[in-house]
Amino acid sequence: MDQGAATPPAGIPISRYGWHAIVLMSAAQMMSMLDRQILSILAPAIKADLGVGDAEMGLLYGTVFALFYALFSLPLGRLVDGWDRTKLLAICIGTWSFFAGLAAFANGFVLLAISRLGVGVGEAATQPAANSILFDSLPQGRRGIGMGGLAVGLALGLGLSMALGGVAADWWNARVAAGGASFGFAGWQFAFIVASLPGFPLAWLIWRLHEPVRGAMDGIPARPDPAPFRASTAVLGAVTPGTNWLNLWRRDAGARQWAINLGGLALILGVATTLVAITRAYSPRPPLEFGAMSLDPHVLQWGVFAFGAFVVLNLFQNFRLTDRPTYNVVLSPSLIMLMVMGGLQTAINYGVMFASPQILNRQFGLSMGEVGLQFGLLSAVLAAIGALIAGPLADWLTLRRGNRGMLWLVLLSLGLSPLAGIWTYSADSASEFYVRFTVYALILTLWLPPTYALLLGLVLPRMRGIVFSTYLVIMTLLGQGLGPYVVGMMSDRNGGDLAAALIQVNWVAPVIVALLAMVLVRYARDEASMLDRARAGGEPV
């Protein structure tokens, strides 16, 4: 099959199995986002009930989750490429649902931290597995619909996390606990139980889903992996700081690889130290107190960022030593630029979702309950509508313009959205904000489905899990790791003006547009050379 073909064959319908897979994978994305984000709406009640401070809540919401999510997404992504994906996804859903429900029994910080750790590890395989399953269940020209379905699931999960968390907690407190029959649970604890329960029947349904043939839709059936668990464990050891040096020693890495690793670590630590000094001067913050220990929040922030950057360096070195075809394929300029672009845009998105509810509360006087229902449900509906438009539109453009059509859609969305964002956060009333946010959100949601399709179209079927996991690490570091943090710093600098901070953060858009313009020039060339680069590394295709 010619992987460089610009236009996939038209008119191939989606099978009944394909539609079934879209529904279940979208449901998995919804549950993932619901259990991940529900902590944000419940945070005030948890703090009041358990005496947990803002520092600890920040660690639970961002650092603990992101750290373990980023680290374990890589070995689990490798397992996606070698084992039964439906079984793996079912096990992960059951695991994170259990740990999400475990938070209901917390009486202090430790059990809450264990709960978030488990949710982060359990969710690490969700997007790689779901994307890989859909790419092997749908014809090439119909994958935009599948990616749109995943985006719908993410949108619904995000909106439901705000609405369901607040409504379930308020209902329990007002109807059950107020009547003296609380059964030892507060409203926020009941909300965790409600959020976790649907994951178990969903895990059973996905367990029963037939595993699609890897690579069949692309005409490149993948060979069975003889030892997927061993390979996954090896990836974990290879990327984890500390054990990565044991991996280099066992692989007989030469002096050049050791120099790259140690030099890269020194560079990462130097950059992190410099950024600590810059951000400390830009936005001085009091230390975080954890019992007898105190920690500079900027040191914590950039320490986690440095950890993730070193993990990515270790991963690429491991590719070079153990899987040269993947190394050759991943080092595609288009793929790297799409990953960085996606991470930068996700930073804006996380900043928007972090700050917008607080703007409605502080600037326009809405209660957090009103914000949860109004903004949460509006965000979910708009993101779902945008994804439902983007998926079929991406397929339509692909059939007529090839992958350049999808690239133009992403470029249009991310070129216009900063202007809409500046307009939105200049609103003078809540009603005006909601009208403008509707336009902004619909434009902004068009980029994600085609971007996923473009990313995974640049790699072989057997590599999709680990490559998407690599993207998740970069996206988590730049998005969840930097977005809310940078917006918060800018707000502090501006006297607490979150709207001004969101307007300022949109100035990263020219970098995003420039990266997309370069991808537009290079994509066809990098796609056409994919098989040759894989063969040069020893791939038997």
Q: What is the pLDDT of residues 72-121, one digit of tens each?
A: 888 888 898 889 999 999 999 999 999 999 988 888 777 888 888 888 88
Which range has the worst mean pLDDT, 86-95, 136-145, 455-464?
136-145
Conformation bin of residue 184: beta by default, left when phi > 0, alpha when psi is -120 to 50 = left
In a domain, 1, yes or no: no
Q: What is the pLDDT of residues 250-268, one digit of tens each?
A: 888 889 999 999 999 999 9
Same domain flag for 450 and 476: yes
Mean pLDDT, rounded, of the chain? 84
Where helices occur in 172-242 by DSSP H, the ranges are 187-196, 199-207, 228-239
Instruction: Output the CA–CA distances (angstroms, integers) from residue 367 to 44, 158, 475, in the order listed.
Output: 13, 19, 32
Same domain flag for 161 and 59: yes
Same domain flag for 528 and 390: yes
**pLDDT given for residue 63 in this prediction:** 66
Same domain flag for 342 and 310: no
Q: Is the pLDDT of residue 4 over 50?
A: no
**pLDDT given for residue 278 in this prediction:** 92
Same domain flag for 411 and 284: no
List, in sequence order, every residue forming a beta bridge with 243; answer none if it has no partner.
none
Nearest-CA neighbor of 385 among 164, 148, 216?
148
Same domain flag for 288 and 186: no
> Which of the listed residues 290, 322, 354 is the one where a domain comes to its end?
322
Same domain flag for 312 and 426: no
What whole-number distance in Å separates Cα of residue 314 and Cα of residue 333? 19
Same domain flag for 296 and 346: no
Q: Is the pLDDT of residue 539 over 80?
A: no
Averaged pLDDT, 277-289: 81
Report which residue type is found at 424: T
Total of domains in the chain:
3
**Long-range own/partner contacts, residues 510-516 (CB < 8 A, 24 or more apart):** 511/344, 512/341, 512/344, 512/345, 512/414, 513/411, 513/414, 513/415, 515/337, 515/338, 515/340, 515/341, 515/344, 516/337, 516/341, 516/407, 516/410, 516/411, 516/414
Q: Is the pLDDT of residue 485 over 80?
A: no
In a domain, 4, yes or no: no
**pTM across the whole model:** 0.78
Q: Is the pLDDT of residue 55 over 60?
A: no
In a domain, 95, yes or no: yes
Instruction: Output the CA–CA distances (angstroms, integers) from residue 452 to 181, 187, 203, 479, 534, in the order listed.
Output: 48, 38, 24, 16, 21
**pLDDT given for residue 97 in this prediction:** 93
- Please say whether the beta carbons of 236 and 466 come within 8 A: no
Averaged pLDDT, 40-50: 76
In a domain, 454, yes or no: yes
The model's confidence at residue 313, banded by pLDDT at 50, 70 and 90, is: very high
Q: Is the pLDDT of residue 1 over 60?
A: no
**pLDDT given for residue 27 in this prediction:** 93
Same domain flag for 297 and 334: no
The pLDDT > 70 percentage for the chain reads 92
- Please say whether the beta carbons of 338 and 454 come within 8 A: yes
> Which of the listed residues 322, 342, 367 is the one where a domain comes to its end?
322
What whole-number distance in Å separates Cα of residue 409 and Cα of residue 319? 32
Same domain flag for 80 and 177: yes
Residue 322: partners with Cβ closer than 8 Å, 6 or more residues away: 234, 238, 251
In a domain, 420, yes or no: yes
Task: Identify the CATH number of the domain in which residue 164 sits.
Answer: 1.20.1250.20
The model's confidence at residue 28, banded by pLDDT at 50, 70 and 90, is: very high
Q: Where would I find the beta strands (DSSP E) of 93-227?
A: none
Same domain flag for 344 and 469: yes
Residue 476: partners with Cβ closer than 8 Å, 6 or more residues away: 66, 69, 70, 73, 308
> Could you give phi then psi for residue 386, rounded to 5 degrees?
-60, -40
In a domain, 525, yes or no: yes
The model's confidence at residue 7, banded by pLDDT at 50, 70 and 90, is: very low
Conformation bin of residue 495: beta by default, left when phi > 0, alpha when psi is -120 to 50 = left
Q: Is the pLDDT of residue 216 over 90?
A: no
**pLDDT given for residue 176 in this prediction:** 62
275: containing domain: 240-322
What whole-number distance in Å separates Cα of residue 307 and Cα of residue 214? 33
The pLDDT > 90 percentage for the chain reads 26
In a domain, 7, yes or no: no
How many other C-beta atoms are found inside a 10 Å radius of the C-beta of residue 532?
14
**pLDDT given for residue 68 in this prediction:** 77
Same domain flag for 399 and 487: yes
In a domain, 289, yes or no: yes
Conformation bin of residue 460: beta by default, left when phi > 0, alpha when psi is -120 to 50 = beta
> Which of the listed residues 272, 295, 322 is the one where a domain comes to its end?
322
The model's confidence at residue 178, banded by pLDDT at 50, 70 and 90, is: low
**pLDDT given for residue 436 in this prediction:** 95
- Give the total residue count for the chain: 541
Q: Is the pLDDT of residue 476 over 70?
A: yes
